[in-house]
Chain A
Amino acid sequence: MSAILLLARYFSASVRGQMQYPGSAITLGIAQFFATIIDILAAWALFDRFGPVQGWTFGDIALFFGMVSVSFAIADFLSRGFDVFGTEFVRTGNFDRVLLRPRSAALQLIGHEFRLSRIGRLAQGIVVIALSTAALSLEWPPEHVVLAAWTIAGGVALFMGLMVLQATLAFWTVESLEVMNLLTYGGVQAAQFPLSIYAGWFRNFLIFVVPIGCVAYFPVLVLLGKSDPLGAPAWLLPLTPAAGFVFFGAALLAWRFGVAKYTSTGS
Chain B
Amino acid sequence: MSLSPDKLLHAYRRMRTIREFEDRLHTEIATGQIAGFTHLYAGQEAIAVGVCEHLSDEDSIISTHRGHGHCIAKGCDVMGMMKELWGSAEGTCKGKGGSMHIAEVGRGMLGANAIVGGGPPIAVGAALAAKLRGNGTVAVSFSGDGATNQGTTFEAMNMAVVLKVPKIFVLENNGYAENTGANYGCGCEDIAARAEAFGFPVFRADGADFFDVHDAAAKAIAHARDGNGPAGVYAVMQRYYGHYEGDPQAYRAKDEPRSLRETKDCLGNFRASVTSEGTLTDPQLDAVDREVLELIEKAVQAAKAAARPRPEDLSNDVYISY
Bound pair: A and B? no
